[in-house]
Structure 1
Amino acid sequence: MICGVDEAGKGSVLGPLVVAAVAVPSEDALDDLGVKDSKLLSPKERERLYPLIRKRCRVATVRIDAREIDAIRAEMTLNSAVARAHAQVIAKLSPARAYVDACDVNCFRYAEMVKNNLDLVCEIVSEHHADEKFPVVSAASIIAKVTRDRAIATLSRKYGEIGSGYPSDPVTIRFLTTWIDEHKTPPPIARKSWKTVGTILAKKSQSSLLDF
């Protein structure tokens, strides 16, 4: 049994980080599905593949919400937290080998970070852009992305239009700015430890001082 591991939402300022692992009996088990890195697929195609992957493969996910991310970052780096989450989904599936998308500039160091969080014997193959190189990691990227997109859709129904949740999204920044204007504090779904939130708060504070 081998598995692929990937995550979605690592750089997002709103919403959860989702880590997913997909396990298959052989390297070619997904060849006929035509899986690709989730970023190369349309939302419609990801949604089409999602149930097919879940039906054919063993799947494990871990969701880390914004508040938990802030708490974790007080104790460790985000890369360390992701490595721990990668190990958690691997442990749920107990494969002989796991392909992981490296979250560190040094992929060998990242493999060791994952291993150090594992209690089982598992070969860790850590590579950059693994979601483009290994179909089983592509499948994991699809599961992670669809799971997170659905979580963002749920949050949008509760909080209004929040965009993608990423700092590069003007809709997300507009939501954050408006919320902080009205409530004087970031929304519960924001990662308060992110520089994006700190910058908006600093601008608001500066504006208040100027008004005074």
Structure 2
Amino acid sequence: MICGVDEAGKGSVLGPLVVAAVAVPSENALDGLRVRDSKAVSPKERERLYPLIRKRCRVATIRLDAQDIDAIRTEMTLNAAMARTHARAIDKLSPSCAYVDACDVNSFRYAEMVKGNLVRECEIISEHHADVKFPVVSAASIIAKVTRDRVIATLAKKYGDIGSGYPADPVTIRFLETWIGEHGSPPPIARRSWKTISAMLAKRTQRSLMDF
């Protein structure tokens, strides 16, 4: 059994981070699906592939909400948290070998970080752009992306248009600025430990002092 692991939402300022692991007897199990890195696949195609991957493969997902991430970051770096979460996803499937998308500039160091968090023994192959190089990681990328996108859609029904949740998204920034302006603090779905949020709060405080 081999496994691929990837995540969606790591750099997002709003919403969850989702880690997905996909396990198959061999990469031949994905033949015919034409899986690719989720960023290279349209939303419609990702939704089409999602149930097909789940039907052919064993799948495990872990969701970390904004409050979870903020709490974790008081204890460890984000890379350390990613290694721990990747290991948790791998342990759920008990493969003999797992391919992971390296979350550290040093891919070998990241492999050791993941290994150090495993409960069950497993060979870890850590590479940058693994979601492009290995179909099983591409499949995990699609599962993670679709899972997160569905959560974002649910949050949008409650909070209004929040965009993609990423700092580079003008819709997300506009939502955050409006919310903080009206409520004086970030929404519950925001990662308070992110520089984007601290900068907005500092800007608001500065304006208040100037008004005073």
Compute the TM-score of the two structures, normalised by the length of structure 2. 0.99
Residue matched to 2:42: 42
Matched, 1:116 2:112: no
Q: AA paired with 1:57?
A: C
Residue matched to 1:208: 208
Q: How many residues align?
A: 212
Query: CA shift at 1:199, angstroms?
Result: 0.5
CA distance in 2, matches of 1:166, 1:148: 12
Superposed counterparts of 1:189-208, under 5 Å: 189-208=189-208
Query: CA shift at 1:119, angstroms?
Result: 1.6
CA distance in 2, matches of 1:82, 1:179: 29
Structure 1 moving runs of 4+ over 2 Å: none
CA distance in 1, matches of 2:49, 2:78: 29
Residue matched to 1:56: 56
Q: What whole-Å deviation, never above 9, does each CA across 1:78-120 have from its counterpart, x for those lacking one?
A: 0111111100010000000000000000000000000000021
Residue matched to 2:10: 10
Q: AA paired with 1:83?
A: A
Q: Secondary structure at the match of 2:28?
A: coil
Q: What whole-Å deviation, never above 9, does each CA across 1:96-146 have from its counterpart, x for those lacking one?
A: 000000000000000000000002110000000000000000000000000
CA distance in 2, matches of 1:43, 1:27: 24
Query: CA shift at 1:31, angstroms?
Result: 2.1
Matched, 1:177 2:157: no
CA distance in 1, matches of 2:131, 2:31: 14
- The question of whether the paired residues in 2 share the 8 Å contact of 1:103 and 1:110 is answered with yes
> Sequence identity, in percent?
79
Superposed counterparts of 1:24-103, under 5 Å: 24-103=24-103
- The question of whether the paired residues in 2 share the 8 Å contact of 1:31 and 1:135 is answered with no
Q: AA paired with 2:192?
A: K
Q: Secondary structure at the match of 2:55?
A: helix
CA distance in 1, matches of 2:208, 2:107: 45
Alignment RMSD (CA, Å): 0.5
- The question of whether the paired residues in 2 share the 8 Å contact of 1:18 and 1:62 is answered with yes
Structure 1: unaligned runs, 5 residues or longer: none
Residue matched to 2:151: 151
Query: CA shift at 1:28, angstroms?
Result: 2.0
Query: CA shift at 1:3, angstroms?
Result: 0.5
CA distance in 2, matches of 1:27, 1:190: 37
Structure 2: unaligned runs, 5 residues or longer: none
Query: CA shift at 1:156, angstroms?
Result: 0.4
Query: CA shift at 1:210, angstroms?
Result: 1.1
